[in-house]
Amino acid sequence: MTAVTAKPLGSYPWFIRLFFWKQRRTYGRVLEPGLLWGRSPWVFASVAVLYGALDRRTSPLAPALRSLVTVRVSQINHCAFCVDINSATLAKRGVPLEKIDALSAWRDSSAFDSEERLALEYAEAMTLNRVDDHLRSSLKAHWNEDTIVELTGLIAFQNLSSKFNAALDVPAQGFCRLPQATTAPI
């Protein structure tokens, strides 16, 4: 059971109900986190706009790479909802289920290329507050500064989202068949 409950749909402001309409259209239902964020309408609208900016088609980061990072951050933060929905998105973006299954142990898997490994290392280090100068140098050797800012923003956003949902015990909504919140030793 979540720590906070949703309000009746009609009690949310009209502009938040527009977000709910979009969620129904995209996912077939209103998402539980949206109902909870919607209790603070201006914060929810701001978070939704930020997510849209980070997940846009013109991002310098490939869609599958963005999703790999969001799933890994979600796993570390034990967010069942985020692992569920982000894993489903990752599968829709063409990543095989075997690779998604191996994500919590990516360091021990040959399924991940060097760019994915660097992004996943950064995601873990950011999430655990362990970013060091060596990692920063590795990022600069691989990506330009604009791309590093995009990746950093995405990881920070996913930490916000998954920590919010985990703290309120938002359950998975059945988007993906994968285990919900496995973490490998880091």
pLDDT tens for residues 25-61? 999 999 999 999 999 999 999 999 999 999 999 999 9
Query: In the chain, what are the domain boundaries?
Result: 9-54, 63-167
What is the predicted pLDDT for the residue at 181? 46
- Could you give the CA distance from residue 42 to residue 90 in angstroms, rounded to a whole number? 29
Q: Cα separations (Å) of 144 from 117, 125, 141, 149?
A: 17, 19, 8, 9
What is the predicted pLDDT for the residue at 116? 98
What stretches in the chain show pLDDT beneath 70?
Answer: 1-2, 177-186
What is the predicted pLDDT for the residue at 143? 98
What does pTM read for this prediction? 0.92
The CATH class of 63-167 is mainly alpha
Degrees, nearest 5: CA angle 147-150-152: 110
